[in-house]
Amino acid sequence: MPSRLNVAILGHRFMGRAHSNAWRQVGRFFDCPYEPVLKVACGRDAGPLSEFAHRWGWEETESDWRKIIERKDIDIIDIALPTFLHAEVAIAAAQAGKHLFCEKPFAINLTEAEQMLAAAQAAGIVHYLNHNYRRCPAVVLAKKLIEQGELGTIRHWRGAYQQSWLSDPSHPLDWKLRKEFAGAGPLWDLGSHALDLAQFLAGDIIRVVCHTKQFVTQRPIASNPATVGTVDVECAANLMFELGSGGIGTIETTRYATGRDNHHTFEIYGDGGALTWDLEDMNRLQFFDGAGDQSTRGFRSILVTDPSHDYVKNWWPPGHIIGYEHTFVHAAADFLAAIADPGTSSVTPDFSDGVRITQVLEACLRSTSSGAWESAT
């Protein structure tokens, strides 16, 4: 019988739902060292918060996050808030000794990112940054194949994270379109995911050149659609980079790619093989084995639902695919394992990865201003 850990969640919208689901599901499908208890949900809108807490089974609600952090009975703080709120909460929670499960993008700038990491390290807590796509079984397999040397030396990374929800100019100005709340636009929101996978799979990015662009700069304000406000983040960002290992790459991020709902994709070419993946078809990995016979080589479409793969055996038999939110369940499982056994378990990405990603993102912004290459280390 596992002992219990009390979780407090901050935020109750899209990410609040996905995280709540993870805490509820993890013990059903994974053998966890702890049972997470959905203890308290925190937010400022009493009505929606109450509805959220009731629906997901959070035992209590609270409007002041500082009170939660003061509570002795809370073990885990789950930060499912807009980016600009991460640093203050995370630092205070770390100082109070809470383990941190933090949504991405990590921080609004590198200064805050470094403060968050410093606080987490000083406190000795377990800290996790939720770039959840690392835990798609197909991405896990990609990592394994690369570590086994199947791709050889990586020469090219070709990535993109394309959405289309801003193609419609009547879409209102929301917090993701305001620099003060979001840090930046798709570069921060989508690019952080894309860069996380690039560095996870292909290693450190050492320099970048970035190109941002404005397409639609005035949008209706949701609370009063007759008025408009200014989009002060970039509408799209393209970047080129160089890897420490000598490979090169590109990443495109946009919310104006008509026809793409959630098209997070990469192609990786090494001198020994190649891989491609696409989040919209997230259960598959395409693998080209360069060592194969010349006449029968080809990209192999691997449906990563075989129980031999990490995480997969905990779900369903082969050919029964999993969905988006399962990656959060995987993260929760690994996070609980890391708390139980900090010596031998680890959960990544963590706040040090958050700092690294933010370094690259800030280099991109500098490059946008300078029109030139910038160091990303």
Residues of span 313-352 touching its own copies by CB under 8 A? 315-326
Site string for its own copies, 285-304 (x = CB under 8 A): --xx-x---xxxxxxxxxx-
Q: Which is nearer to its own copies, 291 or 343 (CB)?
A: 291
Q: Toward its own copies, which CB reaches closer, 124 or 292?
A: 292
> Which candidate, 333, 332, 377, 266, places its Cα nearest to that of 78?
332
Nearest residue (CB) to its own copies, 111 versus 369 = 369
The candidate with the shortest Cα–Cα distance to 306, out of 317, 295, 298, is 317
> Is residue 141 near its own copies by the rule CB under 8 A?
yes
3-class secondary structure per residue, 178-247: CHHHHCCCHHHHCHHHHHHHHHHHHCCEEEEEEEEECCCCEEEECCEEEEEEECCCCCEEEEEEEECCCC
Q: How many residues bind its own copies (CB under 8 A)?
A: 90
Closer CB to its own copies, residue 65 or residue 287?
287
Give the footprint of its own copies on residues 234-273 (CB under 8 A).
236, 238-240, 242, 246, 248-250, 252, 254, 256-263, 267, 269-273
Binding mask 165-194 for its own copies (x = CB under 8 A): x-x-x-------------------------
Helices (H), 279-350: 326-340
Residue 65 binds to its own copies (criterion: CB under 8 A): no
Q: Which stretch binds its own copies (CB under 8 A): 20-28, 115-123, 175-183, 220-228?
A: 20-28
Shortest CB 290 distance to its own copies, Å: 5
Least separation in angstroms between residue 310's CB and its own copies is: 10
Query: Is the Cβ of residue 95 or residue 250 nearer to its own copies in the bound state?
Result: 250
273 has which bridge partners?
289
Distance CA 224, CA 366 (A): 34
Name the one range near its own copies by CB under 8 A: 105-113, 183-191, 274-282, 341-349. 274-282
Instruction: Provide the angle, in degrees to the nearest 10, between the axes of the packed helices 110-123 and 351-370.
Output: 170
Residue ranges in 27-56 that form contacts with its own copies under rule CB under 8 A: 27-28, 55-56
For the CB of residue 298, give the shortest distance to its own copies in the complex, in Å. Answer: 4
Window of 19-27, 72-80, 123-131, 343-351 that interacts with its own copies by CB under 8 A? 19-27
State the Rg of the chain over Cα. 21
Spatial neighbors of 326 by CB under 8 A, at least 6 apart, are 311, 315
Question: Any idea what the Cα angle at residue 162 is, between residues 183 and 212, rounded to 5°?
Answer: 50
Burial 259-289 (b: 16+ CB within 10 A, else e): ebeebbbbbbbbeebbbbbbbeebbbbbbbb
| Count, residues in the chain | 377
Q: How far is the CB of 255 from its own copies (least distance, A)?
A: 10
* Binding to its own copies in span 196-225, by CB under 8 A: 209, 211, 213, 215
Tell the smallest beta-carbon distance from residue 139 to its own copies (Å). 14
Does 20 bind its own copies (CB under 8 A)? Our answer is yes
116 vs 205, beta carbon nearer its own copies:
205
